[in-house]
């Protein structure tokens, strides 16, 4: 019990330190937190059409951006910064102290949670203020929103830790990770209406969590009758929960099995 308390205590201290470091890096602050908002401005201003009765493209886009925000703050951010920490000696130094690896992961997860909350709040604020986003009014939608956020960011976090072994160097990490995220965003119906994509693209996207997250977020932010316009003709909520849970389990196993303290 004592050891668990200690691990959590150090994990909380690490999360404080991680947030402090994050907020002091202007590039990452702008790139990770404000980039989705900037995209919202661009896409919201360019595409002002209505894609279905009562549904503007901006609304469709905000749902997709909230979903891909989870991928940005978790997967992308961790898969880029962990290789950098492997290169600059952060991980090696921590490895030589009594700090446990669990504390390190707690720190990272809380950082992701913190970033995710800020980013989602920014998107919802600017979406409603400037692009006519309607927030859900029923409890069921907010409940879906809550579990999607929790399951989605958990998934995104563990997959980011797992993927952090792939980039060979910290400097090259962004070049490896960012294209994957951008391609998934295109394929998963963030920048385009999903049903307008070629079938092979839709099927490929359905293998990964982002497609399910965007579809889930549409169920939260778009009118119920829009469901008939989805590929399956409904929101596929149960299947979304299943796919995300499978990815979460796969991610946890990969993260534990493959995590590397050093490059050697």
Residues that bind another protein (CB under 8 A): 3, 9-10, 13, 17, 20-21, 24-25, 85, 88-90, 92-93, 95-100, 261-262, 264
Report phi then psi at 82, rounded to 5.
-65, -45
Supply the minimum distance, in Å, between the C-beta of residue 169 and another protein.
Answer: 14
Helix (H) or strand (E) holding 123: helix 101-131
Buried b (16+ CB within 10 A) or exposed e, 134-147: eeeeeeebeebbee
Token pair of 166 as six digits: 């792939």
DSSP-derived letter for residue 206 is: T
Supply the minimum distance, in Å, between the C-beta of residue 44 and another protein.
Answer: 33
Q: What span, in angstroms and rounded, lies between the C-alpha atoms of 98 and 136?
A: 47
Supply the minimum distance, in Å, between the C-beta of residue 171 and another protein.
Answer: 12
Nearer to another protein, 87 or 236 (CB): 87
Supply the minimum distance, in Å, between the C-beta of residue 258 and another protein.
Answer: 16
Supply the minimum distance, in Å, between the C-beta of residue 197 and another protein.
Answer: 41
Supply the minimum distance, in Å, between the C-beta of residue 98 and another protein.
Answer: 4
Helix (H) or strand (E) holding 209: helix 209-221
Q: Ramachandran region of residue 87, left (φ > 0), alpha (ψ -120 to 50) or beta?
A: alpha
Q: What span, in angstroms and rounded, lies between the C-alpha atoms of 245 and 248?
A: 5
Token pair of 43 as six digits: 């896409």
Nearer to another protein, 85 or 236 (CB): 85
Nearer to another protein, 80 or 123 (CB): 80
Nearer to another protein, 13 or 237 (CB): 13
Nearer to another protein, 95 or 168 (CB): 95
Nearer to another protein, 49 or 264 (CB): 264
């Amino acid at each position: 019990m004592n050891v668990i308390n200690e691990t959590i205590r150090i994990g909380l201290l690490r999360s404080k330190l991680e947030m402090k470091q994050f907020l002091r890096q202007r590039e990452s602050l702008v790139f990770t937190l404000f980039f989705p908002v900037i995209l919202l401005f661009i896409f919201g201003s360019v595409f002002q059409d209505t894609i279905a009765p009562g549904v503007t493209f901006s609304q469709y886009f905000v749902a997709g951006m909230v979903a891909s925000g989870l991928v940005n703050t978790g997967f992308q951010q961790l898969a880029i910064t962990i290789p950098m920490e492997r290169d600059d000696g952060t991980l090696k130094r921590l490895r030589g102290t009594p700090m446990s690896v669990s504390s390190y992961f707690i720190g990272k997860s809380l950082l992701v949670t913190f970033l995710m909350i800020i980013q989602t709040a920014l998107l919802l604020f600017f979406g409603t203020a400037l692009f006519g986003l309607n927030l859900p009014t029923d409890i069921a939608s907010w409940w879906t929103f809550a579990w999607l956020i929790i399951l989605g960011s958990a998934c995104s976090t563990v997959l980011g830790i797992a993927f952090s072994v792939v980039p060979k160097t910290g400097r090259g990490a962004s070049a490896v990770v960012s294209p994957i995220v951008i391609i998934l965003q295109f394929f998963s119906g963030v920048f385009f209406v999903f049903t307008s994509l070629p079938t092979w693209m839709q099927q490929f996207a359905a293998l990964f969590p982002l497609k399910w997250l965007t579809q889930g977020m549409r169920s939260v932010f778009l009118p119920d009758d829009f469901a008939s316009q989805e590929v399956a003709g409904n929101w596929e909520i149960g299947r979304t929960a299943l796919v995300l849970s499978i990815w979460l389990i796969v991610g946890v196993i990969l993260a534990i099995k493959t995590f590397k303290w050093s490059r050697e």
